[in-house]
Structure 1
Amino acid sequence: MTSLTITAADGSGRKVGQREFIVLMATLMSLNALAIDAMLPALDEIASTFAIDDPNRRQLVVGVYLLATGFGSLVPGLFADRFGRRPVLFVSLAIYLAASLLCMFAPSFEILLALRAAQGFGTAGLMVLPAAIIRDRFDGDAMARLISMIFIVFMAVPVLAPTLGQIVLTFASWEWIFFALALFGIGAAAWAAKRLPETLDPRHRQKIDPRTIVHNLPLTFRTREAVGYVLAAGLTFGAVFGYINSAQQLIGEHFGAEEQFPLIFGASAATLAFSSFANSRIVERFGARRVSHTALIAFILVSVVQVYAAEVHADSLAWFFPLISINLCLLGFLGANFGSIAMQPFFDSAGAASSVQSAIRMLLGAVMGIAIGQAYDGTALPLAIALLGSSLIALALVLFSERGKLFTRPRKPRYITESPH
């Protein structure tokens, strides 16, 4: 890794080294993952507290949060392009902290879901802004490499979060998991306030008016090079969200490994960290397109085996665990690369582009995740079919963006810089 220093766009003295920058960006992004995965061991207790009869309904604690994050993703990028990355980031962190504390005192399941929706909507900036901050300083395959390095650190959260939730439940009730989320939010906010520079060049600040919004939000849909990758990412992540939503029931109840759930879930998620590291080592050599296209085809083949296993070896954790782990591993070669390819055409509107792309990915992924979770029937078959179907459609979308050609060499992006004014 280089010793590159990330400095403030206005030339002020605030700067951060690349290693610290990677960990800081991963920490900010991980707050959202923590708000999802730390709750998984508590879903049974939450259902018991509020007398939830439908076993699939408890999944909405996760699904509603993801859906609200998708809608919320449309907002922060626009404000970040006008006021800068730091102010919008700290508003998101403040909402994260307040919503976490309020969730502790929810008197009913419906109010808990409403607070989770507010939390997801308000903290969408924690997913949107890191991509915009990175795009302010990096481009192309270099951006994909940096995102992969961030994902390596970021993926420690899905591995450890269920264990954190389980530890809290050992000593206290589920409400205290939200208190733990608030503590992590305070720590991240203090670190960012002290060390994170403002990366938006003052020359690229944009006014917030109807013409700018109308111009910026549809850009991804009007840009063929981007739209296929954004939709493909949403589909593949949607299938994985379906796994997250139903993981506690699938692993704990169907496969009868409730006590081992944090370990099994964490071990499967850990493969994402491995593939993110591998991607960071190879993406600049082979290019984001070659790596991600290869991974997508492999994802399809593994999903075919996943359907076979769900039909023929329906009760076998020995079949399910390695296959879902491989699926998640391959996702590490898809997410960062699809995201960097989709962001390449956008330069002076990176915040708005990041917002709309994050919104599309999250909304599509969250809706799919909820649908897959609610379709859980006591077997792994609905999830297996979703993995296969989503990856096949994703391949068609990538072919659309690439005009029918896969495995192309890295190319200089066509920047979208036109202005509505």
Structure 2
Amino acid sequence: MAQTSSTGTHATPTLGMVEFVALMASLTSLVALSIDAMLPALSQIGDALGVTDPHQPHLIVSVFFAGMAIGQLFFGPYADSRGRREALLLGLIIFCVGTVICMLAESLEMMLVGRVVQAFGVSGPRIAAMAIIRDLYVGEGMAKVMSFIMMVFILVPMLAPIVGQTVMLLASWWHIFTLFLGVAVLTGSWFFARQPETLPASRRRPFSWRPFAASSRFILTHNSVMGYTVAMGFIFGSFLAYISASATIFQEFYGVGELFPLVFATLAFSIGLASFFNGHMVMKFGMSPLCRIALKGVVGFAVIFNVLIAYYDGLPPLLLTIGIMFTGFFFVGILFGNLNAMAMQPLGNMAGLGAAIIGSLSSLFSVPIALFIDSFITTNLYPIGLGFLCFFILALVSVRLAEKARLEEHGDTA
């Protein structure tokens, strides 16, 4: 059943659906580009910066999400008080500053500082894009838009490692950061040329600590919002552990070498395929039923994956590993767009702050989970498999509690 919201007055879309989806996906995909283009370069960056612990280069990916957790808390209220366009502009400027710091880094510590600044800045475009989508769409309509955006967005994780490796072959890992600067400038120029402000001055919330605390309290004590948010943290935490360690898994454990970007792209395509499927199915079946099916799917995948890992003494054959992960990641792709839309739905005019708290909390949950799982990785897939199983089960429990709370709060059976 399609859902609507009575909270807030929605702006009218001015761009065609195709351009709007492409623009929003480009803005949000700056996050994925900043992460996945780095994956083939982690070992080389570690060598260039004198790192001896093989686990430490993984921090170049993990700390990015910690920076985003902080940045989203800033840009959420900023987007609600100063408008979406100003938040996006400030975020892009900070992102470029962080990129320059990374380019000048001569130690891992300075590189990590630059990555945190980068992540803080990229939170601006991400929050602005999410708030714009919430300004224009609601309920299953929002879930549909989010799924199509995810479908375009997923092309970046598919292509980014290939792009990063190509840059390294033609020049060096240092010029991956040059690429980031170019993409930020081009995407920002497109946005400011085409997308009007969606939060008029009459609907803005001037920042003050009392309303901020009241809005935050409303969101943090909203059981269904928090249930879906925690579930996203569990799911993404285990998935982030895989992303951070993917180069190690496929290049070192399986020895795929320069084929790593193609393997990574194949698995990322599964999530894009799921998003395409979800974009068509969500209007017919609703978000909640699809989430229930997908959660059962990811738990089932994790159980089978762990059985295979045990049977093959920690390292199943490459093609079997790719096949089972492709199937499991399809269910993960269904969850990403729907859980975020379900968490955002009750927040109305608090879209900016809501996106900030939801994104920040899910990141704060996911980073320690990923670091914990990755700390056990040595020469096999046991940590990844057990991480999937434990945290997918916890996500299933969290969603069930969120749905129970939603029924109690609103009597919504969608």
d(CA) in 1 for partners of 2:289, 2:413: 15
d(CA) in 2 for partners of 1:138, 1:100: 33
Aligned twin of 2:354:
353
Shift of 1:145: 0.5
Shift of 1:9: 7.8
d(CA) in 2 for partners of 1:236, 1:197: 34
Deviations 1:299-320 (A, max 9, x none): 0000001111222123321221
Aligned twin of 1:125:
124
Shift of 1:412: 7.8
d(CA) in 2 for partners of 1:412, 1:194: 41
Shift of 1:206: 0.8
Alignment-mate amino acid for residue 23 of structure 1: A
Shift of 1:231: 0.5
Aligned twin of 2:389:
388
Shift of 1:404: 8.2
Aligned twin of 1:171:
170
Aligned twin of 1:88:
87
The 3 A distance-change label for structure 1 pair 63 and 140 is: same
Aligned twin of 1:363:
364
The 3 A distance-change label for structure 1 pair 404 and 120 is: closer
In the alignment, structure 1 residue 291 sits paired with structure 2 residue 268: no
Superposition pairs for residues 11-26 of structure 1, below 5 Å?
15-26=14-25
In the alignment, structure 1 residue 403 sits paired with structure 2 residue 400: no
Shift of 1:188: 0.4
CA contact (8 A) 2:11 2:135 kept: no
Alignment-mate amino acid for residue 390 of structure 1: F
CA contact (8 A) 2:131 2:355 kept: yes
Q: 5+ unaligned residues in a row in structure 1: which ranges? A: 1-7, 414-421
The 10-residue stretch of structure 1 (176-185 or 68-77) with the greater mean CA deviation from structure 2: 68-77
Q: TM-score, normalised by structure 2?
A: 0.93
d(CA) in 2 for partners of 1:161, 1:51: 25
Aligned twin of 1:418:
none
Q: What SS does the corresponding residue of 2:15 show, helix, strand or coil?
A: strand
CA contact (8 A) 1:32 1:126 kept: no
CA contact (8 A) 2:67 2:116 kept: yes
The 3 A distance-change label for structure 1 pair 91 and 148 is: same
CA contact (8 A) 2:302 2:385 kept: yes
Superposition pairs for residues 306-345 of structure 1, below 5 Å?
306-313=305-312, 314-315=314-315, 316-345=317-346
Deviations 1:13-61 (A, max 9, x none): x932221010000000011100000000001111111221111111011
Alignment-mate amino acid for residue 108 of structure 2: F
CA contact (8 A) 2:99 2:181 kept: yes
Q: What SS does the corresponding residue of 2:266 show, helix, strand or coil?
A: helix
CA contact (8 A) 2:344 2:351 kept: yes
Aligned twin of 1:182:
181
Aligned twin of 1:5:
none
d(CA) in 1 for partners of 2:27, 2:128: 9
Q: 5+ unaligned residues in a row in structure 2: which ranges? A: 1-8
Shift of 1:375: 2.1
Alignment-mate amino acid for residue 244 of structure 2: N
Q: What SS does the corresponding residue of 1:208 show, helix, strand or coil?
A: coil
Aligned twin of 1:79:
78
CA contact (8 A) 2:224 2:405 kept: no
Aligned twin of 1:138:
137
Shift of 1:221: 2.2
Deviations 1:207-249 (A, max 9, x none): 2111011112232221122111110011101111000100000
The 3 A distance-change label for structure 1 pair 326 and 194 is: same
More helix by share: 2
The 3 A distance-change label for structure 1 pair 347 and 106 is: same
Q: TM-score, normalised by structure 1?
A: 0.92
Shift of 1:405: 9.8
Shift of 1:399: 1.4
The 3 A distance-change label for structure 1 pair 129 and 375 is: farther
Shift of 1:364: 1.0
CA contact (8 A) 1:246 1:373 kept: yes
Paired-residue identity, %: 31
CA contact (8 A) 2:30 2:122 kept: no
Alignment-mate amino acid for residue 134 of structure 2: R
Aligned residues: 402
Deviations 1:275-305 (A, max 9, x none): 0000000001100000011101110000001
RMSD across aligned C-alpha pairs, in angstroms?
2.0
d(CA) in 1 for partners of 2:134, 2:406: 26
d(CA) in 2 for partners of 1:190, 1:130: 15
